[in-house]
Structures are given as structure tokens and as C-alpha cells.
Amino acid sequence: MLLASLNPAAVAAGADLGDAVRIDGVSLSRSDLVGAATSVAERVGGASRVAVLATPTAATVLAVTGCLIAGVPVVPVPADVGAAERRHILADSRAQAWLGELPEEAEGLPHVPVRLHARSWHRYPEPSPDAAALIIYTSGTTGPPKGVVVSRRAIAADIDMLAQAWEWTPQDTLVHGLPLYHVHGLVLGLLGSLRVGNRFVHTGKPKPAAYARAVRELGGTLLFGVPTVWSRVVEDGDAARALAPARLLVSGSAALPVPVFDGLAALSGHRAIERYGSTETLITLSTFASGERRPGWVGLPLQGVTTRLVADDGTELPHDGESIGQLHVQSPTLFDGYLNRPDATAEVLGDDGWYHTGDVAVIDSSGMHRIVGRESVDLIKSGGFRIGAGEIETVLLQHAGVREAAVIGAPDADLGQRIIAFVVGDAQPDELIDYVAQQLSVHKRPREVRVVESLPRNAMGKLLKKELAQWV
């Protein structure tokens, strides 16, 4: 059963929790979740797929849960999505209705409201593990977003793998304030909690004070955040120190800067768990609760996951901690393909079952992985050298005059690509160029440093390097 903690028989027998889910001022017990979500299931059962405006509310929790009970695939739609992108998601997914909250523009779809106090105790058979659970639209970089079809089997496998790696149990209280339309907030945070059986607390927004309060007042033990969240926590020293009683701090969705890792360790006593994955693969790599946590490295393959590094000519590269190659993944958590896009699916998913992540990485002899970045923007080929942008960014962030840093390669007639760094801070460009040359090989120094007010990021805190390239 995908949502194992919501087994109606177990709930009826007393396996309940006073507030299994806390979100937007609403507390739901497991009995509430089963009764209200089953009422939702009765209203959407038989639909091919429905759209859910993924606001951080109890209505969203019940909408998603009800669809999973009924076996209806959910299309999570970001609440802040633009009109053109929303129309694309609805048309491409062929969603039949809006379930739960209604956006300002319904685009002609009927609306099925979620009633928080409605209850039904109808028993639904568990859908096939191979059935689609979610269709999550990825941010488009070269075109409109693509719908990633994620099966129930993949979600269950990933949560179980992470529960083992993080020693995640029903005794945990999981806390985050992340969006409910991405893997991090929706699959790991909400669905993970409904499978494992722990208490789930959503803070509304991922503010440092809210995380500190959740630990202090609600006993938060397992905290999820993106690097931007943890950076703000470190800046608020009191909030960081308040997280000391937690069990694990987990960072993902982008690389955690080493200075932020070190700051969390110094202030909270926690060396953060880092993990790696994508919408297409879910989470495949992670550091372990009982293992080494090395700043700048995202960990080992989870149980059942296999990885390889591939050179430009297709040959496999050694796991020597130095060789940079394309990262390929095999995993029971792989997606079923892009909706309506067999061509795009074939570009990244080989007949041999290997998913081509589009990321470049380094693997050491112990199997620990370091993500260099996206092959398209983070692997810089300059003067005959293959250089990872992330390595330079890490060094720049260690300079006292730099708060944020992003490095890209720009076309250059002589070098092929020249290294350009964008930084937020008060350091002088020439000073930073010399600093990198002193810390790394000279050929890895930026040829140009631009000091800017801020760096472009998406809702999950990821740098938008394609946009930076436009600045050049």
C-alpha cells in the first residue's frame, strides 16, 4: 500500500495520531485524513487525471491523498505559475478538472471542491503499483515544461530507500516549508510522511524562525530545506542554534555551499544530510544518517541504485575522485517517460535502462559522488581543460567578501570558453581572480568577475544559469 500509514483497518483499530498533518493552521489526524480523503476519492474516482493547485493547505493534502486512494493521477500545478505555462500544463496533461482550490483563471475546467469536514469510509482496492501517481511538470530550459510520469511503485521504492538511509521512522516529526508541487516537498515531505507514518508539519514558508519554532514547540526531528533556506538559517544564528535538538537536517534541490554546511555544523551541531536526484529519477544518492557526511559531496547510491560515469566518446571513466564524466543512473525509482513526448524520453532513457541525467560528476573509490553541475552550463571546456563550475564557486564562497557566487562558461574565440563569475558581495573583481588562482590551478581562475545585486533563482533556490548566460 503506497500510503501505508493510512490503512483504514489500522486506523479503525486505533493506529491514529492527534495531528498526523499540520498545515496552514489545520491539524488532521489519520482518521481525518482517511475519512476526508476517501470523500475526495468518491468525487473524482474514474477520472483519467485531475489538476491540483498546489498551495500549502489542507485542501491540497486531501486532494492529493484522495486521488492516490482512488488511483487517479495528480497534476500538481504551481500556485504562482504564469498564465501561458498553466495553459500548457492543463492542455498537455488533459486534466479533466480542478480539484481543491481554484486559480483565478480556471481555463474552462470544471471545479471539484474539497470539503475538509466531509467523511467517507468506503474501501477502495489498492491500485496497481505500475499505475501513474503523479505527472510533475519540469521547468523548461529549451521549450515548454515536460510532464514527468511517476509511478506508485517508484514513489514507494524511493521513500523506503530513504527511510533506510536516514533511519526515518514513525517516531519522527518531519518539518518543512517547501512547495507541494516538486519532489522535495510533495513526494519526500508529504507522501513520505504518509507512507512512513511520522508526523508532518508544514511551516507555510521556510523561514528560519518557523523552523526553530517547529523544533522547540512541536518536537521537529527531521527538517527539509533547500540551500537558500539553510543559508538564511545560518545568517540567523539564534535560529540555527535552536535546531540542535533535531535529529537530521536534510538539504537538496541544489548544491549546498560548503560555507553553509560548515555554518550549520558550527551553530547547530548538525552536519547536514545532502542528497541528489531529479523529477525523472526521484532521489538516488544520499549521505547516510550513520555514515560520512562530506561537505560538497552528495553521497552514495541508495539501495538498488547503480551509477556510472561516461566520457564524451561513450567509454566508462574510473571512480578515482578526479575524472569528470556524464552521470548515468539505473534505479527502481525511474520515471515512466515524458507525457506525450516519446522523442524526449528516448533522448535521456536508453534501451539498456540507463537514465542520462545531464549532470556531470566525480565518483571516488568509496563510491561517494560529487556533482560538478549540469553538462550544458556547469562543465566548462577552456583551453583544453574540463573545469567544473562548482569547484570555482566553492572557492569564491570561502572568500569573506562573497555572499553568493555563480560561474559560467562564455564563448571565447581563443579558449573555446572563458570562465566568468557573478558574485554578490563587496570584494573587488581583481582580488577574487587572484584568490581563485591561489586556491586552485591557474587555468581555473575566472577571466572576468562581475559584482551584481542578486543572482537569478527559481522557487526552489536553484540558480538560473541560462539566464546568466543571457547577461553575458
Sheet of strand 306-310: strand arrangement: 306-310, 325-330, 355-363, 369-374
What sections of 13-151 are H helices per DSSP?
Answer: 30-44, 58-70, 83-93
pLDDT in tens, the chain (472 residues): 999 999 877 676 555 657 899 999 999 999 999 999 999 999 999 999 999 999 999 999 999 999 999 999 999 999 888 888 899 999 999 999 999 999 888 888 999 999 999 999 999 999 999 999 999 998 655 568 899 999 999 999 999 999 999 999 999 999 999 999 999 999 999 999 999 999 999 999 999 999 999 999 999 999 999 988 999 999 999 999 999 999 999 999 888 888 899 999 999 999 999 999 999 999 999 999 999 999 989 999 999 999 999 998 889 999 999 899 999 999 999 999 999 999 999 999 988 899 999 999 999 999 999 998 877 777 787 877 778 788 788 889 889 999 999 998 888 877 888 999 999 999 999 999 999 988 887 888 999 999 999 998 876 677 888 788 888 7
Q: What is the pTM for the complete model shown? A: 0.86
pLDDT confidence of residue 11: 72
CA dist 394 → 169, 259, 391 (Å): 34, 8, 5
What sections of 207-255 are H helices per DSSP?
Answer: 208-218, 227-235, 237-242
pLDDT confidence of residue 416: 80
Contact of 169 with 181, CB cutoff 8 Å? no
pLDDT confidence of residue 332: 98
pLDDT confidence of residue 17: 59
- Residue by residue, DSSP assigns 175-211 as EE---TTSIIIIIIIIIHHHHHT-EEEE-SS--HHHH
Fold: same for 4-205 and 272-374: no
pLDDT confidence of residue 351: 86
Return the domain boundaries, the chain.
4-205, 272-374, 379-471
Nearest to 274 by CA among 212, 329, 226: 226
CA dist 242 → 214, 263, 289, 344 (Å): 10, 14, 20, 46
- What angle, rounded to 10 degrees, do the helices at 227-235 and 258-268 form? 50
Task: Write out pLDDT tens, residues 210-238.
Answer: 999 999 999 999 999 998 899 999 999 99
Contact of 168 with 302, CB cutoff 8 Å? no
- Distance, C-alpha 294 to centroid of its chain: 20
C-alpha cell at 359: 549532470
Class of the CATH domain delimited by 272-374: mainly beta
Sign of CA dihedral 23, 288, 138, 336: negative
The topology under which CATH files domain 4-205 is Rossmann fold (3.40.50)
Cα 419 to Cα 309: distance, rounded to the nearest angstrom? 24
With 0-12 CB in 10 A as exposed, 13-18 as middle and 19+ as buried, what is 242?
buried
pLDDT confidence of residue 15: 59
Cα 284 to Cα 174: distance, rounded to the nearest angstrom? 20
Superfamily of domain 379-471: ANL, C-terminal domain (3.30.300.30)
pLDDT confidence of residue 10: 66
pLDDT confidence of residue 460: 64
